[in-house]
Amino acid sequence: MVRQELMLPKKIMEAIEVFASLADVHRQQIVGLVGRNGPMCVGDIARNFLMSRPAVSHHLKVLKRAGLLTAHRQGKEIHYEFNRERTVQVLRWMADAVEQQMEVRQTQAK
């Protein structure tokens, strides 16, 4: 039997990446910290956690790749900022997808 890959729309795949990036409690805490405090550099973020600076940098890389954080160079430092617009966009995509799926199920049930 051939395994069939599930083909999902690009928006849903992007949303999955966002939610997967938030599966780690440290990344959730980083997003909360940066969201509350505004732009922060790696050192300032790392001072709030009991993990190495390279570990914090890894988490920031994952969050940036998912679009939850943006990065801006200021002199020698990179400052990370919560990307509110992207977060709202992804949540809207997911809400729309759920609504569409519910409509399909209701139509099929009739």
Task: Give tens-digit pLDDT for 3-24.
Answer: 555 566 788 888 889 999 999 9
Please report where in the chains the tokens 């395994």 appear, as a residue.
3
Q: Which tokens is 103 given? A: 């409509």
Instruction: Provide the CB-side half-sphere exposure for 60 (13 A, CA).
Output: 26
Question: In whole angstroms, how far apart are CA 40 and each of 15, 17, 47, 62, 77?
Answer: 25, 23, 11, 16, 9
Q: Which tokens is 1 given? A: 């039997």
Report pLDDT digits (tens) over 36-75. Answer: 999 999 999 999 999 999 999 999 999 999 999 999 999 9
**pLDDT band with cut points at 50, 70 and 90 for residue 91:** confident
